[in-house]
Amino acid sequence: MPIPSHNPTRQQQLEDAFLAFNQVSEQLTDSYQQLQNRVEQLSRELAETHTDRLRQLAEKERLANRLSHLLEVMPAAVVVVNGQNAIQEFNPAAASMLDGIRQGAIWPELYQRIFTKKSSGDLCLNSGALVTLFECSLSPEPGKIILLLDVTEMRELQVHLDRQERLNSLGNMAAQLAHQIRTPLTSALLDSAHLAREDLPTERRQQFSSRLRTRLCHIERQIKDMLAFASGNQGLLVPIAVAPLMMNLEQMLEPLIKARGASFELIDRTAGALMIQGNQDGLLGALMNLANNALAHGGARVQLQIALNCASNAMLEILVSDNGPGIAEDIRERIFDPFFTTSSDGTGLGLAVVQSVVLAHEGDISIVPSQLGGASFKISLPLYQEGRREETVPGYLKKRPGVYEIRSRNPL
């Protein structure tokens, strides 16, 4: 038998192959260990996630249970409507409030059948109950939740409270009016008693008669102001052109200005093309009241100015200014209070009536600094946009760019 010859090259190849096998084996062992560790880590994370999901699911179930019980006991009606406006769910309050409600019913049809819209914005059921409705979308899913609150008792209480407040205000006003009338009424009674004397000389009779007339006129003015304050002079609100309104005011002021030797300036920076919505008699009365105050308290040679501006917030601004002594700081907060007056023969209702008229026109009145050095009142009234005219009203004379002045037929 021949003896195999020694082959060093093949032996070396076998050794190298064995070494490479050992290295690959070690790498496979390491990879398997890493894979096993990763599997264990993922298993732990999966178990934790599963436990957390179970915890969240249990919490959601508890929350759903609480919400379910809450809906059961809620006094408000809750209705769930799907994307096709069909009623899916509703609580017991909805079942008792909404007659004929059922699952699958079409909500708009039910709404039209059982609700009536009230002028106050509330909904009225066939039973007479007043309801307020709120809606909330179920986004991102289709549908909405409808919440209905029965506000019948609340509205009744509100009406009762408003009536009680009006009665209280009426009582206070009646007490104040009685206090204001008592003094001139007492004087009028004394004067009338003197007039009954047969031995009274003609001159004295005329004096007592004049004084009696003055006292009665004072009482009549107080009652007139009281009625104007109580009503607010609202009347019928109609579109009013500002330019003719100011021209009427000028004609009414003309004899008063002449009688007192005062000066008057009416400036309109609105180009005479604006309109407001209101009651013309009420607004003229309020402006005349402010003008009379200026003439009465301004002293000799009163300067009265009425300026009109168009504010950027679609408001008409009317500034009534004078060069009189102005209004003291300590009484400015009370100047619009009913029956507050600094005049011995004043009713204390003039400025209160002005404020009442302005508020009835959804406007505002305030005291502002006067360029003439005296008192200045700013009235802001909303513009009537739909009735706005582009042409300039006849009777206006352009004095300078942006400023128009009413041309008087009879200069003051």
Contacts for 358-363 with beta carbons within 8 Å, 24 or more apart?
A: 358/286, 359/232, 360/232, 360/233, 360/234, 360/279, 360/282, 361/237, 361/276, 361/277, 361/278, 361/279, 361/282, 361/283, 363/315
CB neighbours of 187 closer than 8 A, spacing ≥ 6? Answer: 211, 215
Contacts of 273 (CB under 8 A, 6+ apart): 243, 388, 389, 390, 391, 392, 393
pLDDT of residue 173: 67
Does one domain contain both 134 and 253? Answer: no
Whether 34 is in a domain gets the answer no
Q: Classify strands 364-367 and 315-322 as parallel, antiparallel or unpaired.
A: unpaired
CATH of the domain at 343: 3.30.565.10
pLDDT digits 0-9 by tens, 260-273: 888 888 888 887 67
Q: Mean pLDDT for the chain?
A: 78
Last residue of one domain, picked from the residues 196, 215, 230: 230
Q: What is the pLDDT of residue 200?
A: 80
Identify the band that residue 144 occupies on the pLDDT scale cut at 50, 70 and 90. Answer: very high
**Domain shared by 137 and 159, yes or no:** no
On whether both 240 and 308 belong to a single domain, the answer is yes
Does 116 fall in a domain?
yes
Instruction: Work out the percent of the chain whose per-residue pLDDT is above 70.
Output: 81
Split at pLDDT 50, 70, 90, the class of 276 is confident
Which residue range forms the structural domain that includes residue 336? Answer: 236-406
Give the pLDDT of residue 191: 78
Tell me if 64 is assigned to some domain: no
C-alpha to C-alpha distance for 216 and 188, rounded to whole angstroms: 7
Average pLDDT over residues 232-242: 70
Residue 38 covered by a domain: no
Please tell me whether residues 381 and 280 are part of one structural domain: yes
Most confident of 45-54, 326-335, 346-355: 45-54
What's the CATH code of the domain at 195?
1.10.287.130
Residues 261 and 358 in one domain: yes
- The reply to whether 142 and 159 lie within a common domain is no
Over range 201-217, report the average pLDDT. Answer: 83
Q: Are 398 and 404 in contact (CB under 8 A)?
A: yes
Domain identity same for 145 and 183: no
- 388 — pLDDT class (breaks 50, 70, 90): very low
The pLDDT of residue 319 is: 92
- Is the domain of 303 the same as that of 257? yes
Find the DSSP H helices in 81-136: 92-97, 107-114
**Is pLDDT of 223 > 80?**
no
Question: For the chain, what is the domain count?
Answer: 3
Q: Nearest-5° angle of CA 305, CA 389, CA 265? A: 10
The stretch 23-29 carries a mean pLDDT of 85
Is the same domain home to 169 and 140?
no
pLDDT for residue 390 is more than 50? no
Domain end, chosen from 113, 133, 150, is at 150
Is 207 a residue whose pLDDT tops 70?
yes
Secondary structure (3-state) at 134: strand
Answer with the one of 230, 261, 292 that is the final residue of a domain. Answer: 230
Instruction: Convert the pLDDT of each residue in 112-137 to its tens digit.
Output: 888 887 766 788 888 888 888 888 99
166 and 205 part of one domain? yes
Residue 252 belongs to a domain: yes
Report yes or no on 411 lying in a domain. Answer: no
Q: How confident is the model at residue 234 (pLDDT cuts 50, 70, 90)?
A: low
What pLDDT score does 407 carry?
34
What is the pTM (predicted TM-score) of this model? 0.47
Do residues 285 and 340 both lie within one domain? yes
pLDDT at residue number 410: 33
Instruction: Specify the range with the lowest mean pLDDT, choosing from 138-147, 223-232, 280-289, 334-343.
Output: 223-232
pLDDT > 70? residue 286? yes
Range in 97-106, 164-173, 325-334, 375-384 with the lowest mean pLDDT: 164-173
For residue range 33-42, list pLDDT tens digits in order.
888 888 888 8
| 47 belongs to a structural domain | no
Does one domain contain both 383 and 322? Answer: yes
pLDDT surpasses 50 at 402: no
